[in-house]
Amino acid sequence: MLEKYLDYSAEVLEAKKAGKAIVALESTIISHGMPYPQNVETAKEVEDIIRQGGAVPATIAILDGKIKIGISDEELEFLATSNDIEKASRRDLPYLIATKKNGATTVAATMICAELAGIEVFVTGGIGGVHREAETTMDISADLQELAKTNVAVVCAGAKSILDIGLTMEYLETNGVPVVGYETDKLPAFYTRSSEFDVNFRVDDASTAADLIRTKWELGLNGGVVIANPIPEEHALEEAFITNVIETALKEAKENNIAGKNVTPFLLGKVKELTEGTSLTANIALVKHNAVVGAGIAVKLQK
């Protein structure tokens, strides 16, 4: 039944048959997260890093209503340049697939497709979370509910501080999702190596991370594991700088009566504007670093 929906690349199919470690990658970063041609370059470099780590990359996207598990160079170019790619979260998959449309998968949708394909590790930049002002807007990313129920480990650099990280941690705690620091006691915040929040647990090697993940699922404790891996020191933005950028942006938002659901896109735009090139460089660096860690964990899980 499922087979008719999934379309594996030759590389991934071979890896599955050989029992090799596979690492899922999302496509929102390609279609909506980075400008061209950096999106294509980064996607290819990240795939290569995973190969060098001894695993096989499986970039996931919806193309013509098929769930692609692994994409070709032409498909990557299409995802990176077309304007006809919807952002695909859990709620969007049935529509996009039934009506044969294209979709770039978010963290939530990539987790779903990875689980369908039997892939246990997924590398991304940052997870979605509880938005600032969510106390009144209830704007909470579907990524968090996916982490609560879908069996995929998500290697990321934490969540962006334009989100409310404290509320995000509370939501994950209520839903029983472990947030594991990789070589860190502090929760990283995407552009920065730390935040004011502690991770739940620290692990210092891929083997321990893999043990924790395997134990969770063997116990029947369904849901994801957040592996929070800080951005490499040399590319990290200053915490004071990024905090200042966000505070400036929040102040501007207030002055312009931007509230509720409009705050997040406004903050995203301001951060981009005020940090310019450095934020893109940082984003690329952290994703690559996550790929190194993710491949390592995937290899250990396969043993």
- CA dihedral sign, ordered 201, 293, 28, 96: negative
Helix-strand-coil split of the chain, %, nearest 5: 50, 15, 30
Minimum CB distance to a copy of itself smaller for 2 or for 18: 2
Asked if 139 is part of the footprint of Mn ion (rule: CB under 5 A), the reply reads yes
| Binding residues for a copy of itself restricted to 56-95, rule: CB under 8 A | 89-95
Instruction: Give the residue ranges of the annotated binding site.
Output: 87, 107, 139, 141-143
| β-strand pairing of 201-203 with 225-228 | unpaired
The runs of H, that is alpha helices, within 7-118 are 10-18, 28, 38-52, 73-81, 93-98, 107-116
Binding partner of 102, given a copy of itself, Mn ion, none, CB within 5-8 angstroms per partner class:
none
Which positions are annotated as active-site residues?
26, 160
Instruction: Give the residue ranges of the annotated binding site for Mn(2+).
Output: 139
CB of 172 to Mn ion, least distance (A): 11
CB of 95 to a copy of itself, least distance (A): 4
Stretch that binds Mn ion, among 85-93, 137-145, 226-234, 271-279 (CB under 5 A): 137-145
Minimum CB distance to Mn ion smaller for 134 or for 206: 134
Q: Nearest Cα to 123, choosing from 51, 173, 19, 195?
A: 51
H-run or E-run covering 284: helix 277-302
The count of residues interacting with Mn ion (CB under 5 A) is 1
CB of 232 to a copy of itself, least distance (A): 25
Number of H helices, E strands in the chain: 13, 11
Of the candidates 110, 141, 184, 264, which one interacts with a copy of itself according to CB under 8 A?
A: 141
CB of 108 to Mn ion, least distance (A): 11
| Ramachandran sector of residue 215 (left: φ over 0; alpha: ψ -120 to 50; beta: rest) | alpha
Asked if 198 is part of the footprint of Mn ion (rule: CB under 5 A), the reply reads no
Q: Are 37 and 44 in contact (CB under 8 A)?
A: no
Q: Nearest Cα to 162, choosing from 136, 186, 139, 183?
A: 139
In this structure, what token pair is assigned to residue 88?
């695909």
Of the candidates 29, 49, 156, 225, which one interacts with a copy of itself according to CB under 8 A?
A: 225
The residues binding a copy of itself (CB under 8 A) are 1-2, 5, 89-95, 97-99, 108, 112, 116, 130, 135-142, 144-146, 148, 167, 170-180, 200-201, 208, 211-216, 218-221, 225
